[in-house]
Amino acid sequence: MKSFPMFIRTSGRRVVIVGGGEQAAQKTRLILKTDAQIVLAAPILEAELQAVVAENRAIWDAQPVTAETFTGAAMAFIATGCAGHDAALHALATAARCPVNVVDRPDLCDITTPSIVDRDPVVVAIGTEGTAPVLARQIKTQVEQSLAPTLGGLAAFAGRMRNAVARDVPRENRRAFWRWVFAETPRQKWVAGQQHHAIGAIKSAMASGGDFRQDATGSIALVGAGPGARDLLTLRAVERLQEADIIFYDRLVCEEVLELARRDAERVFVGKVVGAHAWPQERINAVIVAEARKGRRVVRLKSGDPGIFGRAAEEMTAAQDAGIDIEIVPGITAACAAAAAAGATLTERGVANTLVLTTGMAREGAPLPETLRHTGPGTTTALYMSVAQAPRLVAELQERGMPACAPVTVGANVSKPDQRMLQTTLAALPSLLVTNAITGCTVLLITWPESMESTTQQPNTPALCIA
């Protein structure tokens, strides 16, 4: 290493930033994350820095900069934008024995600013000694994805409890106790937004001398896998996959999404495959509850969003009846993904101000639903699992007065390698589906514009492939 990474204490100390423009503002934004006293040394400040001073978050020193300006400061940043002036100021800071960073002049830098992942008081700094800042930012993105935004709160709470733990938990039990806090139930509950449950579990374990074995109940997370592409998962979904002991997944969940799970997590396929026996919903309910009762972290991985045609309510009820914690991690639903893939929006002022999510399918043995009861002028209707019912639905829409030329977007296997996006009209939709052999994982987006008058004309409009 040419630079030794370390953290500099800022409490009760000054940080001097020389310059009044955008480069100085960038450094000010960074130091505002600390509790340092910021001194802005410049004859003129741009508007953002003036506001920082007006809010009493920094001191403005408009006098000429001298060595005294830097004396006793924890560090200094020089960002005047003038190479000669910066070099002279660097000499003054060096004379005052103040560690200094000169913006865009690595040869004049005693210190460099890393890429920072801030989960205060947890801070991760990533540096490449100035050789590859783009790589540092990429690594930062990966670390950001792996650390929950609320993780710092757990670390701060643990810091407040350290003395109490030292008093109540025998020394020989403390390491295991803290490992449990940061790796198991307390952390899981904390990052899931259940901080009061996490605090209760920690205090309960402390009251019993650090015995956390009483915490034997696991948890269930209903996780939305999105439409297919792994980079469309939420950060929370990735976290749950990496924490899971066992994952129950559907047919439409892509293999690359499962690869985000930790290697030793058990994977159980519970989806439907044509020609093979399907898992009844009641069996799925029973098995996820049974695994959670073993103290395991269970993920029920569903394509799209669990709350949209995902039968999440039945699994939630089963978990709640068993007294097991359960959470929903939302995912990108097919309608949103299809519209994005088509370069379109689901709502548009003056065209469609209402979005309807519906399906042409029903439970086995039940009559077909009244799919189109909310469809009318000014709506976009997103039809899930409706390809087989398309002729019937088109006929019903035309009977309701929707023009035959109303625009339709067909999204098949959205965001997956074999994605197909087609545009057509209402009248031409059934023949388009047959001609292009569209089946299975498909969403239909049908827009009835506010200003489009009803017509019985049914032009034979060709489909346009857009992706």
Residue 366: inside a domain, yes or no?
yes
Going across the sheet that includes 14-18, the strands are 59-61, 37-41, 14-18, 75-78, 100-102
168 and 285 part of one domain: no
Find the CATH number of the domain harbouring 295.
3.40.1010.10
Same-domain check for residues 73 and 94? yes
Identify whether residues 229 and 306 lie together within a single domain.
yes
Q: Is residue 212 part of a domain?
A: no
Q: Give the CATH number, domain containing residue 74.
A: 3.40.50.720
Is residue 124, in this structure, part of any structural domain at all?
no
172 within some domain: yes
Q: Is residue 42 part of a domain?
A: yes
Q: How does pLDDT run across 270-310, given as a tens digit for each residue?
A: 986 544 556 889 999 999 999 999 888 899 999 999 999 98
Domain count, the chain: 4
pLDDT tens for residues 105-140? 988 999 988 899 999 999 999 998 878 889 999 999
- The predicted model scores a pTM of 0.66
37 and 157 together in one domain: no
Residue of 106, 103, 91, 133 lying closest to 21 (CA atoms)? 103
Q: What is the pLDDT of residue 143?
A: 92
- Catalytic residues, by residue number, are 250, 272
Beta carbons within 8 Å of 54's beta carbon, 6+ residues apart: none
Asked if pLDDT for residue 467 goes beyond 70, the answer is no
Preceding omega of 121 cis (within 30 degrees of 0): yes
Neighbours of 120 (CB within 10 A): 12
Whether residue 135 lies inside any domain: the answer is no
- The last residue of one of the domains, among 306, 332, 358, is 332
Determine, yes or no, domain membership for 90: yes
Separation between Cα atoms, residue 12 and residue 79, nearest integer Å: 23
pLDDT at 361 over 90: no
Is residue 127 included in any domain, yes or no?
no
Q: Count the Cβ atoms, other than its own, within 10 Å of residue 404.
A: 18
pLDDT band at 1; cut points 50, 70, 90: confident
- Domain endpoint, select from 272, 305, 332: 332
Q: Are residues 327 and 340 in the same domain?
A: no
Same domain, 272 and 179: no
The arithmetic mean of pLDDT across residues 415-439, rounded, is 95
- The terminus-to-terminus CA distance of the chain in angstroms comes to 48
300 and 419 share a domain? no
Of 174, 207, 240, the residue at which a domain comes to its end is: 207
Same domain, 382 and 451: yes
If asked whether residues 302 and 348 sit together in one domain, one would say: no
Same-domain check for residues 278 and 342? no
Q: Is 324 in the same domain as 346?
A: no
Q: Are strands 420-425 and 407-412 parallel, antiparallel or unpaired?
A: antiparallel
Per the structure, the complete domain to which residue 277 belongs is given by 219-332
pLDDT in tens, 18-48: 999 999 999 999 999 999 999 999 999 999 9
User: pLDDT at position 274, please?
Assistant: 47
CATH number at residue 439: 3.30.950.10
Answer yes or no: is pLDDT of 216 > 70. no
Question: Band of the pLDDT at 184, cuts 50, 70, 90?
Answer: confident
Look over the chain and give the mean of its residue pLDDT values, rounded to a whole number: 90
Same domain, 264 and 172: no
Residue ranges of alpha helices (H) inside 55-150 are 67-70, 83-95, 133-146
